[in-house]
Amino acid sequence: MPSEVRAADAGGARDGAPGIRAGSTAPSSTAPSPASTAPSRLELAVDALIDEHAADAEQLLTELVAVPSVNPKQPGVNGDQYAGGETRANELLAEWLGRTAMETHWVEQEAGRANLVAIRRGGGGGRSLALNGHIDTVAPQQGRFADPFKAERIGRTLFGLGATDMKAGHAAMWLALQAIERAGATLAGDVHVHSVVGEETMSHEAGTTAVLNAGYRTDAALIPEPTSSPSALFNLSNTAPGNYLFSVTVRGKSTHWASRNLAIRAGGGGDEVGVNAIDKAVYIYNAMRQLEEQWAFTKKHPQFAPGSFIIHPGVLHADIGVAAAPYFPDRARFDYLLSFPPGETSEQIRAEVEAHLNGAAALDPWLRQHPLEFEWIDTWPPAYTDPQSEFARVALEARNETVAALGVESLAAPVPAGAQSDASFYEAQGIPAIVCGPGDLLVAHAADEAVNLDMIPVAAKMMARVALRWCA
């Protein structure tokens, strides 16, 4: 479906190629390191305004959690039940951002799933910045509270679906931008908010990539995905592994279960009697495990610990079409999710996996005659922004300054992310992207998803500093 771009009447939306400066390019990775600076008077004023309005950001988060913006393409989800929820959440966010004098635009690649683009226009001549957050959530689970869409508080912890992943990031974006506006700051470059759909199912074509292809490109992107945990607050990441979701199906030959001795013992008919697909699947599983063990030595990246890249078997299903033990199952299917390092492509990984398993299958007489069936379902390219690039260093300095008040140690360099994000799709279009946010990755996608409310103003101060310095 061709992309539809809708410009809102309110907020002074402009026609033409939106949000991109002519001749704009990503900053060079060889740019000189920005000098370490003390916070300016303006930055301190913005910090004070963030603290003053932190309770408003908590209210925004509460309202966002109340909107069921479950990704309708989540496995096991009734898509009709949640149709339009992502759009409604973005409409709520647009209302709040409108209070900061930002113009709003809409990009709707898939009907009923509208991405929000809000822009604070700069004076011209400066670099632009996108603050990106996905508004969709995973499916609700039964946790300690009856209603996953009602924000519940215990002390300074707010529980609710999407609270940590990643509506707290949206609240921090709003908090940073309203403080910049109230402080009367003048920026040379534009600041965008890209609040997108589809991230939880790797549907970037409907979300972040649709926004970029519609012309809303920037010189850099900061993504406040959850990178905090009680032991490591505000990790700042420039890289993440790629992943690939795929299945391998093994075919067998069904017969009565009591014929197993004839199928596998000397003197029986062997494959002519029957072939249990589970037996053949175990053979293929072992071959895959062998490949994974090789990867511990062959898949390397200087920012990742040895053995970081894995081939995870998540589902095994075998039967004859119904779950019935008295038969030889004639099909077995593994669903796998693997990770791979920056510098390699999804196409290379696919070819390597197929070559290894087909090589193993060729040694088995049955599998040689009944080839493995692969289904390559979804892939996420690796993320990588040069950690020595100017944008990475601006973001790292802002992070280190703002977390110092928490007693958190400075990072000497960015670290790998614990999960994939839409950073990959900015980087795929030559836009450097950094991930750092207030949510706790350890409780993302959990039944009792929660966020520490005190992390929201910290994230907002970091984002505000990045905007003030990058777009100045």
pLDDT (mean) for 240-248? 96
Higher pLDDT, 418 or 290: 290
Query: Is 98 in contact with 117 (CB distance < 8 Å)?
Result: no
Whole-angstrom Cα distance, residue 295 to residue 315?
A: 21
Q: Report residue 153 as tokens.
A: 């508080």
67 pLDDT above the threshold of 50 = yes
DSSP string, 252-297: -B--BGGGHHHHHSTTS-GGGT-B-HHHHHHHHHHHHHHHHHHHHH
Instruction: Note the pLDDT of residue 59.
Output: 98
Instruction: Note the pLDDT of residue 173.
Output: 98
Give the confidence band of 230 by pLDDT, cuts at 50, 70, 90. Answer: confident
**CA dihedral sign of residues 412, 420, 341, 363:** positive
Pick the CATH number of 242-380 from 1.10.3720.10, 3.90.1150.10, 3.30.70.360, 3.90.1640.30: 3.30.70.360
Query: Is 28 in contact with 433 (CB distance < 8 Å)?
Result: no
Its pTM stands at: 0.86
Q: Report residue 432 as tokens.
A: 């450097």
How many other CB atoms are there within 10 angstroms of residue 15's CB atom?
6
Instruction: Note the pLDDT of residue 19.
Output: 32
460 pLDDT above the threshold of 90 = yes
Locate CATH 3.40.630.10 in the chain: 27-240+382-470
DSSP class of residue 429 equals: T
**Percent helix, strand and coil across the chain, each rounded to 5?**
35, 20, 45
Give the confidence band of 36 by pLDDT, cuts at 50, 70, 90. Answer: low
Angle at 182 between CA 176 and CA 184, to 5 degrees: 105
Per the listing, tokens 């610990």 go with: 305
Instruction: Note the pLDDT of residue 37.
Output: 65
Instruction: Note the pLDDT of residue 39.
Output: 85
**Among candidates 348, 461, 391, which has minimal Cα distance to 27?**
391
49 pLDDT above the threshold of 80 = yes
Of how many residues is the chain composed?
Answer: 472
pLDDT (mean) for 254-266? 96
Instruction: Note the pLDDT of residue 344.
Output: 96
Pick the CATH number of 27-240+382-470 from 3.50.50.60, 3.40.50.300, 3.40.630.10, 2.160.20.10: 3.40.630.10
Whole-angstrom Cα distance, residue 18 to residue 128?
A: 12
What would the pLDDT profile of 348-365 be if each residue is shown by its tens digit?
Answer: 999 999 999 999 999 999
Instruction: Note the pLDDT of residue 242.
Output: 96
Locate CATH 3.30.70.360 in the chain: 242-380
- Looking at 316-370, list the stretches that DSSP marks H as alpha helix, in order from N- to C-terminal side: 346-361, 365-369
Instruction: Note the pLDDT of residue 75.
Output: 87
Share of the chain above pLDDT 70, in %: 92
What would the pLDDT profile of 380-406 be if each residue is shown by its tens digit?
Answer: 999 999 999 999 999 999 999 999 989
Question: Strands, E, within 91-225: which ranges?
Answer: 103-110, 113-120, 129-134, 152-154, 157-159, 191-196, 221-223
Distances in whole angstroms, Cα of residue 136 to Cα of each of 74, 87, 88, 270, 417: 10, 9, 11, 52, 20
Give the confidence band of 101 by pLDDT, cuts at 50, 70, 90. Answer: confident
> How high does pLDDT run on average in the chain?
92
What would the pLDDT profile of 180-200 be if each residue is shown by its tens digit?
Answer: 999 999 999 999 999 999 999
Instruction: Note the pLDDT of residue 134.
Output: 98
pLDDT (mean) for 18-40? 43
Instruction: Note the pLDDT of residue 86.
Output: 98
Query: Is 415 in contact with 395 (CB distance < 8 Å)?
Result: no
Whole-angstrom Cα distance, residue 95 to residue 398?
A: 28
Angle at 103 between CA 100 and CA 109, to 5 degrees: 130
Give the confidence band of 1 by pLDDT, cuts at 50, 70, 90. Answer: very low
Query: Is 157 in contact with 453 (CB distance < 8 Å)?
Result: yes
